[in-house]
Chains A and B, each alone.
Chain A
């Protein structure tokens, strides 16, 4: 067990998987000589050479398509997007090729490909570079979507993603790369589709993923000062969803607040609320509340950006609402 940053945990996962399987290769903008825009691929070009650490032009649709072709040919490509905002240009390859290949080939051609990069807002990157794409991606049958929030989960989920025979979207975060945490050495696998209770509680369930884990944990601390015991569930995987873990927690607490980075309309939280009301109706003591980004393009202005994002204070207020404390 070592204390690593999130970026180094990802680096470790990449290195271990490339050592383990010669079919694994990394491709994307600035991944080689520059060692990654966020230094996730530090040292990999040196170790594995330019055939397996491939720098590309600024042409997302093109290199995503090359990745899809390579996966069809039996390789296991890892495609890095400098951010998921740029992956919009490659959506045709992701949605129309990668997601549907197994289905449309009648099960003949599998698609062992990973698309990864930072997702959601950082700080003052304005409207076009601050978007959370998980609801877009998780909407598509054929894709798996994971969003690790801790270094250990980042390593374990990226390793699972690389070994998976289906296209897996790994959503990271600029604001996550520097966080530190204990990461098990060597073979540390986090199965896709398994949520994790990051804090146990009895009064209200806070459902979160990725950067909103920090928001939810802070909210849980503030709630504890108000004698409210909040349980924090980190989804880790958005498709498939760990329905059992969510329902088990809600059945225990009878109340839920769903927190996400994205916009409210048709968001991931809407899917969770649907699940909870359908499967745990008789266990609910209050309507489920959602905390999301404000329903606007992310403002550049620092204060407006802060106001638009999910915050511990908003989560605390929502938790108090479902507890009928206000």
Chain B
């Protein structure tokens, strides 16, 4: 009896996965535990491994196809063994090709129908086919919600009423999302626009950020922090480290300070849950990392207990793998508080969107020299703006302010971290 290979849930929130690449071909021998394919989940590219020994008898899903969790993607069995529903249950490799075949014609005749989009990747047929209940379709149409931007919670990702109720109208979502990648040949080609199917991570970002700014009552606290002494300390430490490598960054110092301040202010180190608030005793700092197609927040676990060098090494390593989409789910979930830093992009000051269920995030701007009064005269000091976004269901203004005061003291006098 041949064994089915299912699309597995490779992340806690994964509902479908895109089969990026088959690592084995039909006819290859496979052993249990061996990698069969690479699958793009809503967060990262993961490995789908064999759960049986034998031969890869049949591949049911071509590369580039998006498949709901639980669907059969391949069969493993004895050589020559017959396979149930052979080829009947999944699109064959030929089908998407046939769909992609009518490439946009160069004809200048304007056609009344929607113009063909730019040459579509193989997965486009799946990415644009939205499964939705008739009611959800009607609600979405009436409310001007683009169903393609809504993550369905029904079977196989079906969009149902609860998914579209309260979903933002499409322009809002589009504005919240970063602009689509500019491809080299995006110059005027006569095609007025390019439809880029949402990748899994884009869908997740849209869903989660909309879920955040909507129901979470945000408020913001901004403070300006003098980083002169932190900068001096950093320079001294890095000088001491010399050629040992693993330099300390401002970000490492900020993460450490945030973690230590949270230890003193547990009220800000919390998750809002449906009917309760979970105050964390452990401190796990999520660190927003920009990646090619979005962002992800790898987690520095127990950051309050780690040295600056440990934090530095770990954050560099995590950020590197985040950019290569190689993070494991446990590496980007479970943060109790987050830090988002756009200082390197020359941003003075911004507000960050809370990553639920966390109750707070701090947004770090650039460290820039500013003239500040010192007694009777002006001195130039390196200063930075920091804005904390708070979930008002968990954190009140004074609570957040008290936390920020501690954080500010630690950054303005790094020795305070030793207290």
Question: Which residues of chain A in 308-326 are interfacial with respect to chain B, using CB atoms and an 8 Å cutoff?
Answer: 324
Question: Which residues of chain A in 270-286 are interfacial with respect to chain B, using CB atoms and an 8 Å cutoff?
Answer: 281-286
User: With a CB–CB cut-off of 8 A, which chain B residues contact A286?
Assistant: 133, 154, 160
0/1 per residue, B152-178, Cβ < 8 Å to A?
Answer: 011100001110000000000000000
Residue B91 at the A interface, CB < 8 A? no
Closest to B153 in A: A324
Closest to B159 in A: A285
Residue A41 at the B interface, CB < 8 A? no
B153 engages A284 (CB within 8 Å) = no
B134 engages A281 (CB within 8 Å) = yes
Shortest beta-carbon distance, B279 to chain A, in Å? 28
0/1 per residue, A275-312, Cβ < 8 Å to B?
Answer: 00000011111100000000000000000000000000
A282 in contact with B153 given A254-B161, A324-B160, A324-B162 (CB within 8 Å) = no
Shortest beta-carbon distance, B31 to chain A, in Å? 36
Interface core residue of A254, A282, A284, A285 (most chain B CB under 10 Å)? A285
User: With a CB–CB cut-off of 8 A, which chain B residues contact A283?
Assistant: 134-135, 138
| Chain B residue total in the interface (Cβ 8 A) | 12
B135 engages A285 (CB within 8 Å) = yes
**In the complex, what distance in Å separates the CA atom of A285 from the CA atom of B138?**
10
Interface core residue of B136, B154, B155, B160 (most chain A CB under 10 Å)? B160
B162 engages A284 (CB within 8 Å) = no
User: With a CB–CB cut-off of 8 A, which chain A residues contact B135?
Assistant: 254, 282-285
Shortest beta-carbon distance, B75 to chain A, in Å? 29
A285 in contact with B137 given A324-B153, A324-B154 (CB within 8 Å) = no
Interface core residue of B135, B137, B155, B160 (most chain A CB under 10 Å)? B135
User: With a CB–CB cut-off of 8 A, which chain A residues contact B138?
Assistant: 282-283
User: With a CB–CB cut-off of 8 A, which chain A residues contact B154?
Assistant: 286, 324
Shortest beta-carbon distance, B392 to chain A, in Å? 27
Shortest beta-carbon distance, B150 to chain A, in Å? 14
Shortest beta-carbon distance, B145 to chain A, in Å? 15
Closest to B154 in A: A324
User: With a CB–CB cut-off of 8 A, which chain A residues contact B136?
Assistant: 285
Shortest beta-carbon distance, A241 to chain B, in Å? 22
0/1 per residue, B102-133, Cβ < 8 Å to A?
Answer: 00000000000000000000000000000001
**In the complex, what distance in Å separates the CA atom of A285 from the CA atom of B137?**
9
Shortest beta-carbon distance, B361 to chain A, in Å? 31
Closest to B137 in A: A282
Shortest beta-carbon distance, B243 to chain A, in Å? 59
Shortest beta-carbon distance, A247 to chain B, in Å? 14
Shortest beta-carbon distance, B240 to chain A, in Å? 59
Shortest beta-carbon distance, B391 to chain A, in Å? 25
Closest to A284 in B: B134
User: With a CB–CB cut-off of 8 A, which chain B residues contact A324?
Assistant: 153-155, 160, 162
**In the complex, what distance in Å separates the CA atom of A284 from the CA atom of B136?**
8
Question: Which residues of chain A in 237-290 are interfacial with respect to chain B, using CB atoms and an 8 Å cutoff?
Answer: 254, 281-286
Shortest beta-carbon distance, A19 to chain B, in Å? 52
Closest to A280 in B: B134
**In the complex, what distance in Å separates the CA atom of A318 from the CA atom of B138?**
24
User: With a CB–CB cut-off of 8 A, which chain B residues contact A281?
Assistant: 134
**In the complex, what distance in Å separates the CA atom of A250 from the CA atom of B137?**
17
Shortest beta-carbon distance, A84 to chain B, in Å? 37
Closest to A286 in B: B133
Choose one: B134, B155, B160, B162; the contact of A282 (CB below 8 Å). Answer: B134
Closest to B135 in A: A285
**In the complex, what distance in Å separates the CA atom of A283 from the CA atom of B133?**
9
**In the complex, what distance in Å separates the CA atom of A254 from the CA atom of B136?**
10
User: With a CB–CB cut-off of 8 A, which chain A residues contact B137?
Assistant: 282
Shortest beta-carbon distance, A280 to chain B, in Å? 9
Shortest beta-carbon distance, A275 to chain B, in Å? 15
Shortest beta-carbon distance, B152 to chain A, in Å? 10
**In the complex, what distance in Å separates the CA atom of A55 from the CA atom of B370?**
110
Shortest beta-carbon distance, A278 to chain B, in Å? 12
Shortest beta-carbon distance, B153 to chain A, in Å? 7
Closest to B133 in A: A285
**In the complex, what distance in Å separates the CA atom of A283 from the CA atom of B161?**
10
Shortest beta-carbon distance, A283 to chain B, in Å? 6
Shortest beta-carbon distance, A209 to chain B, in Å? 26
Closest to B155 in A: A324
Interface core residue of A281, A283, A284, A324 (most chain B CB under 10 Å)? A324
User: With a CB–CB cut-off of 8 A, which chain B residues contact A285?
Assistant: 133-136, 160-161
User: With a CB–CB cut-off of 8 A, which chain B residues contact A282?
Assistant: 134-135, 137-138
Shortest beta-carbon distance, A204 to chain B, in Å? 12
Shortest beta-carbon distance, A37 to chain B, in Å? 48
0/1 per residue, A143-180, Cβ < 8 Å to B?
Answer: 00000000000000000000000000000000000000
Shortest beta-carbon distance, B131 to chain A, in Å? 12
Closest to B161 in A: A285
**In the complex, what distance in Å separates the CA atom of A254 from the CA atom of B133?**
10
User: With a CB–CB cut-off of 8 A, which chain B residues contact A254?
Assistant: 135, 161
Closest to A287 in B: B133
User: With a CB–CB cut-off of 8 A, which chain A residues contact B133?
Assistant: 284-286
Closest to B141 in A: A282
Shortest beta-carbon distance, B57 to chain A, in Å? 33
Shortest beta-carbon distance, B358 to chain A, in Å? 27
Shortest beta-carbon distance, A203 to chain B, in Å? 11
**In the complex, what distance in Å separates the CA atom of A195 from the CA atom of B155?**
33
**In the complex, what distance in Å separates the CA atom of A286 from the CA atom of B134?**
8
**In the complex, what distance in Å separates the CA atom of A248 from the CA atom of B198?**
38
User: With a CB–CB cut-off of 8 A, which chain A residues contact B160?
Assistant: 285-286, 324
Shortest beta-carbon distance, B162 to chain A, in Å? 7
Shortest beta-carbon distance, A262 to chain B, in Å? 28
**In the complex, what distance in Å separates the CA atom of A324 from the CA atom of B163?**
11
**In the complex, what distance in Å separates the CA atom of A281 from the CA atom of B135?**
8
**In the complex, what distance in Å separates the CA atom of A7 from the CA atom of B153?**
49
5 A-B pairs with least C-beta separation: A285-B135, A285-B161, A285-B133, A282-B138, A282-B134
Given contacts A283-B138, A324-B153, A324-B160, 10 further A-B contacts (CB under 8 A): A254-B135, A254-B161, A282-B135, A283-B135, A284-B133, A285-B133, A285-B161, A286-B133, A324-B154, A324-B162
Q: Could you jot down 27 A-B contacts, CB within 8 Å?
A: A254-B135, A254-B161, A281-B134, A282-B134, A282-B135, A282-B137, A282-B138, A283-B134, A283-B135, A283-B138, A284-B133, A284-B134, A284-B135, A285-B133, A285-B134, A285-B135, A285-B136, A285-B160, A285-B161, A286-B133, A286-B154, A286-B160, A324-B153, A324-B154, A324-B155, A324-B160, A324-B162
